[in-house]
Amino acid sequence: MPSAQLPPTSPPDSPCGAAPRVQRRLPALSLTTHHWRAVLATLACAVMRSGALAATPFEDTVAQRVQACTACHGAQGKAAPDGYYPRIAGKPAGYLYNQLMHFRDGNRNYRLMTHMVEPLSPAYLHELATHFAGLSLPYPPPAPVTATAQTLARGEQLALHGDKALQVPACLACHGKAFTGVQPNTPGLIGLPRDYINSQLGAWQSGARRAASPDCMADIARSLSPADVSAVSAWLASQPLPADTRPAASLPEPPPLKCGVLMHPGAHAAQAAQKGGQP
């Protein structure tokens, strides 16, 4: 059987130290085994050394904290390209804070979000909400939507006028006439992908998403048929962006339904919480 010389290796107790030359004559099969062990040890050392060089000091700043958010929600919270993780930049602070609390307390079910916010205090979550609410960033143009004219017409009716027979108010009655949301607790509907709107209405219907009682969105969603959900999501997702995409300061008229989310203290409670309690 042919033989070969073993390449230099490092002693077992010092895998990244100097590599003394070891001269042996071994069968080719044994050479292969030892050779790969040496290669793997060398690669492991290279990884550890590169990691040590790349390590940066940890700083407990807002910029550092929000990296956990932007990893999924896109740079500066502008939304991920897959359409599943929505835009959080520029949303009302009260809305963002309430959603973080809902994830933490089990009113919204998404394991990744729940595990991330469970150990965090209201003050910490309010800081995150305020940071993203203060970002004013341009929206991308709406993605093309495939829907029939009849479907879009039904979606427009629900969004602008509602359906009295179903006791469903118009979307703009709560989300603002430009669908940009309303301060402090109502989110905008513009710039959201159709699939995301569909999924959230489905979550309201199934109970996977809940809000403070009376939960008006759950009641509205459960009054809509699958065709209505598809229609309103298609119409909303296809709308051009208004010149001003910021949330409205207030509604011109009182909301048509009693909604716990509109009566919830939201960010105001969080501001009080900031006086005590750390993350």
Q: What is the domain partition of the chain in residue ranges? A: 3-54, 62-273
pLDDT, residue 264, reads 60
Specify the pTM. 0.75
CATH top-level class of 62-273: mainly alpha
pLDDT, residue 263, reads 74
Residues of the chain with pLDDT under 70: 1-58, 264-279
Q: Which amino acid is at 198?
A: N
- φ and ψ at residue 83, rounded to 5 degrees: 80, -5
pLDDT, residue 83, reads 80
For the segment 43-68, what is each residue's pLDDT rounded down to a tens digit?
454 444 445 445 556 678 888 989 99
Helix (H) or strand (E) holding 42: helix 28-54
Q: Which residues pair with 25 in a beta bridge?
A: 5
DSSP state of 213: S
In angstroms, the CA 223 to CA 163 distance is 10
Residue 179 and residue 172 in contact, taking contact as beta carbons nearer than 8 Å: yes
DSSP state of 5: E
pLDDT, residue 268, reads 44
For the segment 147-160, what is each residue's pLDDT rounded down to a tens digit?
999 999 999 999 99
Backbone dihedral region for residue 277 (phi beyond 0: left; psi -120 to 50: alpha; all else: beta): left
